[in-house]
A and B are shown apart, each in its own frame.
Chain A
Amino acid sequence: MVSALMLRERIKMMEWFLNTDLWHSIYASLIEGERWKMLLNGLGTTLIITIGAMALGTVLGIILALCKISKIKPLKWISSFYIDVIRGTPVVVQLLIMYFVIFASWNVNKTLIAIIAFGLNSAAYVAEIIRAGILGVDKGQMEAGRSLGLTHAQTMARIIMPQAIKSILPTYANEFIVLVKETAVAGYIAIEDLTKMGDIIRSKTYEALIPLLIVALIYLFITSILSKVFKRLEERMRASDSR
C-alpha cells in the first residue's frame, strides 16, 4: 500500500517535471533532432584542434626556445621577434589572418588551418616555458658537464633537460588547458567546434541558457580531467625527486 502511494507520488513528480520549461529546454537542446550528436561532434573537433596544435606548438616551441638561448645572434633575434609578435597580438586575429590571408587562395581543410594557427600561437608560449625551465637549472650543471669533455648538445640532452623538465611540466600542462579553452574562437572561421555547435543549437531552439550551460560544463569536465592527469604526473615526478 505504502509503496504504491510512493510510486504514484513519483509518477506525479515526473509528470510535473516533464511539463516544466526546463525540461522542454533540455529536450529541445539535446534530444530533438539528435542534437547531442552535434555537441559530440563539436567536442571531437575541439579535441582534434587542441591536440594537433599542442603537438605542433611543442615541437616548434622547443626549437624556438633553443634558438632564443643560443649564442647565435640572428637565431636569437628571429625567435625573440616571433615570440613578441605572437604574444602581443590576439589569437583570434592570428586565426583570421591565417584563414583569410595566408590560406585564402588554397583549398585547405579548415580544421587543419586552425591547428596551424593555434599551434603557431602556442609555440610562442611553450618556448617561453621551456626557456624558463632550462635557465632555471643551475649554471654549474652545464659547467660540470662541459668540464668532463661532453659537448654542449650532450650536456643539454643528458644533464640539463632531464632536470628542466620537472619545472617545465606544471606550466606546460597549464598551457594545454588554456589551449582547450582558447580554441573556442575557432567558430570565427566557421569551424563547428564545441562552442560553435552550442551556438548553433541556441539559434535553432531560441534557448540560450541550456545549450551554453551544457557547453560550459563539457569544457569544465575536459579541463578538470586534464588537470587531474597532470597533477598525478607531477606527483609522481616529485616522488622521484625526494628519493
Chain B
Amino acid sequence: MIRVENLHKSFKTNHVLRGINEHITQGEKVVVIGPSGSGKSTFLRCLNLLEKPTEGRIYVDDECITDPKCNINAVRAKMGMVFQHFNLFPHLTVLQNLTLAPTLLKLQTKEQAEAKARALLSRVGLEEKADAYPKQLSGGQQQRVGIARSLAMNPEIMLFDEPTSALDPEMVGEVLAVMRQLAEDGMTMVVVTHEMGFAKEVADRVLFMDEGIIMEKGTPKEIFENPQNERTKSFLSKVLS
C-alpha cells in the first residue's frame, strides 16, 4: 500500500533522513518509535508530502507520489493525518471542521457530509459537541475531533504524528481508545508515538528509528522483548524504566 525506497530528507545542512526503505501493506498497523530528533516525524510527514523528500521514491497504491506529475491533492484525500497539536480550524464549529473538506472537494453533498460527520462524532463519543467551537473542548476532545475530521474523508490510510504528546496525561487514554477501535476496524495505520503500551498492544510491526534510519524493525514481541540493536536496547531501557 505504501512503499518507500531510499528516502532521504535534508533541511539545509541537516541530513534528517538517511535512506529509508519500508513497505506497509494494507490493513497493517505500523508504530514508529525512537528518540526525539531521530527523524520519525519527518518520515511520517514525507508519506503525504508535507515534507518534500530530497531523494528517493514513495509509492502509495502503486502511484509514485514523489513524481512531480502526481496529483498530490488526490492522494492526500485518501490519507488522513492526525497532528500532535490537533490543528483544528478554530473559526469553524466541530461539525464544519468535519464537513469542510468533503463538501469543498465535492466528494459528498452537504447533507451526506453532515450525516457522516454526526455518525463519526458519535463514534468518537462527541456527538453533543457538533456545534461547539474547538476552543471550548479539552485537548483530548480536540484530538478526537481531529481523528474524526480525517475519517470524514473516508481515508484508506491514517497517519498519526505523536497524537497524544500534547495532551494532559489524563486525556491520553480517550484518544488511544479511539485509535484502538480504528485499528480493530482494519484501518491501515502508521503511528509515530511515545506510547509504548499502545505500540505493544496494537502494532503489527514496530519500527525503531534513530539517526535518520530504521535501526531495527519487527513484531512488538521481537522489539520489546528481544531487541538486537544496541541503540534499541538503550532507548527501550530509558523509556520503559
A145–B105 CA distance with the chains assembled, in angstroms? 12
Q: A154-B104, A158-B104 are in contact. Are A148 and B153 (CB under 8 A)?
A: yes
Evaluate contact between B83 and A140: CB separation under 8 angstroms.
Answer: yes
Q: Tell yes or no: B124 within 8 A of A by CB.
A: no
Name the residue on B nearest A152 (C-beta): B73
A137 to chain B, nearest CB (A): 10
B50: interface (CB < 8 Å): yes
Query: Is B100's CB under 8 angstroms from A158's CB?
Result: yes
Residue of A nearest to B107 (CB): A149
- B184 CB, nearest partner CB in chain A, Å: 24
Q: Do A148 and B83 touch across chains, with their CB atoms under 8 A apart?
A: no
Alpha-carbon gap, A150 to B81, bound state (A): 13
| Residues of B contacting A159 in the complex (Cβ-Cβ under 8 angstroms) | 89, 91, 100
Say whether B100 contacts A140, CB under 8 Å. Answer: no
Known: A148-B101, A150-B104, A158-B104. A143 touches B149 (CB 8 A): no
Pick the most buried of A138, A141, A143, A151: most chain B CB atoms within 10 A of its CB: A143
User: A141–B89 contact, CB under 8 A?
Assistant: yes
For residue A243, which residues in chain B have a CB less than 8 angstroms away from its CB? 133, 136
CB distance from B90 to the nearest CB of A (A): 7
Among A140, A148, A159, residue most surrounded by chain B Cβ atoms (within 10 Å): A148
Q: List the A side residues contacting B78 at CB < 8 Å.
A: 149
How many B residues are at the interface, by size bracket?
20 to 34
- In the assembled complex, the CB of B147 is this many whole angstroms from the nearest CB of chain A, namely 12
Assess the A143–B50 pair: CB atoms within 8 A.
Answer: yes
A41 touches B (CB below 8 Å): no
CA distance A148 to B91 in the complex (A): 17
Task: Report yes or no: A148 in contact with B149, Cβ–Cβ below 8 A.
Answer: yes
Residues of A within 8 A of B142 (CB): none
- Across the interface, do A150 and B50 meet the contact criterion of CB distance under 8 Å? no
Cα distance, A162 to B88, chains bound together (Å) = 14
A35 on the interface (CB 8 Å rule)?
no
Which of chain B's residues have a CB closer than 8 A to the CB of A147? 48, 50, 76, 79-81, 83, 150
What residues of B have a CB within 8 angstroms of the CB of A138 in the complex? 87
Select from chain B the residue with minimum beta-carbon distance to A157. B104
Contact of A149 with B153 at beta-carbon distance under 8 Å, contacts A154-B104, A158-B100 already known: yes
What are the interface flags for B131-153 relative to A under an 8 Å C-beta threshold, 1 for contact and 0 otherwise? 00100100000000000011001
Min CB gap A153→B, angstroms = 11
Nearest residue in A to B48 (C-beta to C-beta)?
A: A147
B85 interfacial contact with A, CB 8 Å: yes
Q: Enumerate chain B residues within 8 angstroms of A144, measured Cβ to Cβ.
A: 81, 83, 87-89
Query: B residues within 8 A CB of A181?
Result: none
Q: For residue B133, which residues in chain A have a CB less than 8 angstroms away from its CB? A: 243
Say yes or no for A163: interface residue by CB 8 A criterion: yes
When each residue 82-122 of chain A gets 1 if its CB lies under 8 Å from chain B and 0 otherwise, what string results? Answer: 00000000000000000000000000000000000000000
CB proximity of A102 to chain B, nearest CB, Å: 42
Tell me which residues across on chain B come within 8 A of A76, comparing CB atoms. none
- Does residue B74 face the partner (Cβ distance < 8 Å to A)? yes
Does A202 sit within 8 A of B, measured CB to CB?
no
Does chain A have a CB within 8 A of B117?
no
Instruction: Report the Cα distance A144→B77, complex, angstroms.
Output: 11
| B87 engages A140 (CB within 8 Å) | yes
**B86 CB, nearest partner CB in chain A, Å:** 8
Q: Which of B76-115 contact A (CB under 8 A)?
A: 76-81, 83, 85, 87-91, 100-101, 104-105
Given contacts A149-B153, A159-B89, 18 further A-B contacts (CB under 8 A): A138-B87, A143-B87, A144-B81, A144-B89, A146-B50, A147-B50, A147-B76, A147-B79, A148-B76, A148-B77, A149-B77, A150-B73, A150-B104, A151-B73, A158-B104, A162-B91, A163-B90, A243-B133
Q: When A and B form their complex, which 8 residue pairs have the shortest distance between CB atoms, in order from nearest?
A: A149-B77, A144-B87, A140-B87, A148-B101, A147-B81, A149-B76, A162-B91, A149-B73
| Chain A to chain B contacts (Cβ below 8 Å), 13 pairs | A140-B87, A143-B83, A143-B87, A146-B73, A147-B50, A147-B79, A148-B100, A149-B73, A149-B101, A150-B73, A151-B73, A158-B100, A159-B89
